[in-house]
Each structure stands twice: as structure tokens, then as C-alpha cells.
Amino acid sequence: MDIQSIKQRFGIIGGSSLLNRALDIAVQVATTDLTVLISGESGTGKEVFPKIIHQLSARKHGNYIAVNCGAIPEGTIDSELFGHEKGSFTGAHEARKGYFEVADGGTIFLDEVAELPISTQVRLLRVLESGEFLKVGSSKVIKTDVRVVAASNVNIPKAIEKGDFRQDLYYRLNTVPIIVPPLRERKEDIHLIFRKFAADFAEKYRMPPLRLTNDAIDLLKNFYWPGNVRQLKNVTEQISIIEQEKEINSIILKRYLPEGPKSDLPVLFKKQEEEHFSERELLYKVLFDMKKDVTELKKIVVSLLEQEPESNALEQTKALLVKDYYEAPFPKPVEHSNHKADFEHDSFKEDDDIYHDSEIIEESLSLQDKEKEMIRKALEKHNGKRKNAAQELGISERTLYRKIKEYKIRS
């Protein structure tokens, strides 16, 4: 059966190459018993693919059971899938067959498979590998011959990293992957699907079908459609019922498009992933890198100045460098055993402990001698008045006091 015939049979609209590729894989794998994992965003129509696979397989006369794994409570999911014996838990008044037993010889579709609890994933893995399972409350092994097709809108590799999904089960399910493209990657199909929905609702509600102006068509195609085909169908139905005028322009259409990403233009951010830095950590990292760059630059400038003869301009320049170095708003690096910088908030406070030996050792001894000499000269010039000397040097009085104490200068 060709792709066009399949589209007509299952009501699929569109000629996107990505959609055709997904359908082609479904047709090819249908004649086998391989396990299939269908991936795609919510609302893309993943549920039609297991039906295609089942109807084109040798199991088409067997049972087809679709199970929404996310809709079944964790406490009853094992019973629903594998059945239970009478009295196996509170409320089990009689024995019950599970879906895997009922679907023997047919196909079972596990939608939102990533929502399964870990304990249930272990049971499912056993079924896939050996075709065997145990009912809840029973020790009798039951054999089943079931073709499993699973689907998920969750990034399963990410779920594996979090420990929410078993890696071995993922490899077992993902024997043949089918990726259903989101609506925004099928721009050429969006208007066709809209027209189909508009015609269906016109017939259902006995009214003229909607018509879009050119600007409305452009808006429709460029909208992000986070809910995909399902969202497009809901928007079409709303407009069909509410709008009396059936020619819809972009102004009218905008009223029915929710706030959020309205186009598929690239954005400057990604969703926060687990491995990304927080905004505060990124800011600290930038500040630390800037501090290192400034420190290196100052060392170069000081070494150049020391090669020039003494002058008032030279003294003032050095004073500014000393001031900037010791009163800069950037945190000094702290050496730890794990070689990571400490970016705690307290590192930004003006405290005596902020000046660590590792930073002082970095500076040349000549700079310390020059600083000591400048402080002594400033004190002599102002007859020991620290406030005036600090102003002369361009540093705070507190910093001057600490330097006098550090260098043991008599004033």
C-alpha cells in the first residue's frame, strides 16, 4: 500500500517530507514483529501510527489495545497491564486478566510509556525479552504473544539521566524509532489541515466554512503551535462557532492565538536544563574572569611604570592602581582543595579576610615597597593626619589604617 492510500484510509493530511518519512517507516516495520518507539510532541498525532502498524500487520485480526500509561494510578498500573489474582490486594474480589493477556496475538499500544513506574518497567522488560509475565499476587508464569508499540512526548534519554527510566528498557523499546514532526516543521501542511477542520466544523454546525485572507494564512503558518494539530483543531472550532463573518483576517485570528511564542523565529535562550548554570552562577563566573583579566593588566602596567623615572604623575598612577586593586568590587580567588573558586555572597563584603596570601604573593615585592614608600610620604606631607593622607593617595581611610598596620609604618 502506498503512502497516499494510507493517508486517505487513516485521515492523514499533509505532504511534508518529514511526515512521509515517518509513514514510510511505519509501513515497512508493520510486516515485522519488531518493537516500535514513536517520539513526538503532544498533539502531533502519534496515536495514528500504532493503528497503521497494526492494520498492516499479520496481527490485524487480533486485539488492538491502547493504554495511556500516564492516566492509570501507580498503585493499579501493574494490575491493569498484567492482571491480578483474587485477594492479591484490598479490593481484589475476583481474578482479572491484564491487557497483555487480553491482547495475546494482537498489538498493545503503550502511550506515554515514560510515565511508567520503575517497578512496572522491570515487568515490561521481562515481557519484551521473554514474552512472560506474572499476575499480581501469583507465582504462575503466563506466556503472551503481543506486539508492543510505545509512544512518548518526553525526552527519554534525559529521563534515563535522572533515573526515571531504565536504559535497558529504552534500548528494547527503541528497536525501530519513528519521529513524528511538530506542526511548525510542516508549514506547508498547516493551511491544508486548517481547511479540512474548517470544512468538518461547517458541516457539523451547518454553517459556511471559514476562509482566511493572505495575511491570516501567513500568521497561521508562522505561529509556533506548541499544541500542534490538536491546538490547531481547537482554534479552528472556536473561530467557526464564534465569528459571524467567515472571512478571517490576521487581526481576527490573533484573538484566538494564545500568548507565548507566536512564531518559529529562533530565540536567544533554551529551556533550563539540569546541567546549565543558574543566572547567579553565570554572573559570578563572568565577574571572576573579569577580575583575572584586570589583575593581569595591572601587573603589566606596573612593570612598565617601574622602568620609568619617578615623577608626580607616576606616583599618582601607582596610587590609583593600588586603590583599584585593593578596593575593586570583584572577589579575589580563594584556593581550595578542590581548586574551585568560592563564590559565596560573603566574598563580596569589604573585610580584612578578603585579601588572601595567594593574591599578595602574586604581586612583585617592588610594588609593595613603592606602596609603603608612598604611604610614608603622604603621612609626612600631612603631618601624620591619616584622613588627609588617604585623600592624597586616593584610598579610603580604613584601607590606609590597615596598610599602616600591615607595613608597620610609624606615623
- Map the chain to HEC letters: CCHHHHHHHHCCCCCCHHHHHHHHHHHHHHCCCCCEEEECCCCCCCCHHHHHHHHCCCCCCCCEEEEEHHHCCCCCHHHHHHCECCCCCCCCCCCECCHHHHCCCCEEEEECHHHCCHHHHHHHHHHHHHCEEECECCCCEEECCCEEEEEECCCHHHHHHHCCCCHHHHHHHCCEEEECCCHHHCHHHHHHHHHHHHHHHHHHHCCCCCEECHHHHHHHHHCCCCCHHHHHHHHHHHHHHHCCCCEECHHHHHCCCCCCCCCCCCCCCCCCCCCCCCHHHHHHHHHHHHHHHHHHHHHHHHHHHCCCCCCHHHHHHHHHHHHHHHHCCCCCCCCCCCCCCCCCHHHHCCCHHHCCHHHHHHCCHHHHHHHHHHHHHHHHHCCCCHHHHHHHHCCCHHHHHHHHHHHCCCC
Share of the chain above pLDDT 70, in %: 75
Residue 387, pLDDT score? 83
Q: Is the pLDDT of residue 15 over 90?
A: yes
Mean pLDDT lowest among 186-195, 228-237, 269-278, 292-301: 269-278
Bigger pLDDT: 92 vs 105: 105
Whether the per-residue pLDDT at 330 is higher than 70: the answer is no
Q: Taking the domains of the chain in order of start, what are their residue ranges?
A: 3-181, 187-254, 279-407
Average pLDDT of span 340-359 = 42
- Cβ proximity of 171 and 124 under 8 Å: no
Sheet strand arrangement including 36-39: 64-68, 107-111, 147-152, 36-39, 176-179
User: Bigger pLDDT: 267 or 379?
Assistant: 379
Q: Tell me the residue type at 149.
A: V
Residue 352 binned pLDDT confidence (cut-offs 50, 70, 90): very low
93: amino acid identity, one letter: H
Highest-scoring range by mean pLDDT, 9-18, 87-96, 379-388, 395-404: 9-18
Higher pLDDT, 383 or 342: 383
Give the mean pLDDT of 343-364. Answer: 42
Q: Is the pLDDT of residue 73 over 80?
A: yes
**Poorest-confidence range of 54-58, 150-154, 159-163, 319-323?**
319-323
Check pLDDT > 70 for residue 36.
Answer: yes
The Cα–Cα gap between 399 and 396 comes to 5
Residue 402: pLDDT band with limits 50, 70, 90: confident
Residue 118: band (very low, low, confident or very high) from pLDDT cuts 50, 70, 90: very high
Q: Which residues pair with 150 in a beta bridge?
A: 37, 110
Q: How far is CA 327 from the centre of its chain?
A: 40
Alpha-carbon distance of 332 to 284, in angstroms, equals 12
Tell me: pLDDT of 308 over 60. no
Q: How far, in Å, are 118, 229, 345, 349 from residue 197 at the CA level?
A: 40, 10, 57, 63
Predicted confidence (pLDDT) at residue 355 exceeds the cutoff of 90: no
What are 365-399's pLDDT values in tens digits? 456 777 888 888 888 888 888 888 888 887 888 88
Q: What is the mean pLDDT of the chain?
A: 83
pTM for this prediction: 0.64
Domain 3-181 has CATH 3.30.1490.20: no
Mean pLDDT, residues 318-341 taken together: 50
**CA nearest 76: which of 54, 59, 98?**
98
Q: Which of 192, 254, 264, 252 is nearest to 226 (CA)?
A: 264
- Model confidence at 303, in pLDDT bands (50, 70, 90)? low
Pair 56, 147: CB distance under 8 Å: no
Residue 274 has pLDDT above 90, yes or no: no
Average pLDDT of the residues in 3-12: 94
Report the pLDDT averaged over residues 344-357.
43
Query: Which has the minimum average pLDDT: 54-58, 70-74, 164-168, 332-336?
Result: 332-336
Phi and psi angles of residue 189, each rounded to the nearest 5 degrees, phi first: -95, -15
Query: Which pLDDT band, with edges at 50, 70 and 90, does 311 fall under?
Result: low
Q: What is the pLDDT of residue 288?
A: 65
Among 18-27, 267-276, 373-382, which stretch is predicted with the lowest mean pLDDT? 267-276
pLDDT given for residue 131 in this prediction? 96
347, pLDDT greater than 60: no
Nearest to 102 by CA among 70, 130, 135, 68: 135
Predicted confidence (pLDDT) at residue 284 exceeds the cutoff of 70 = no
Give the span between the Cα atoms of 34 and 175, in whole angstroms: 7
* Domain 187-254, CATH class in plain words: mainly alpha
Instruction: Indicate the range of 206-210, 232-236, 283-287 predicted with least confidence.
Output: 283-287
> Does pLDDT of 129 surpass 80?
yes
pLDDT classification of 323: cutoffs 50, 70, 90: low
pLDDT score for 337? 44
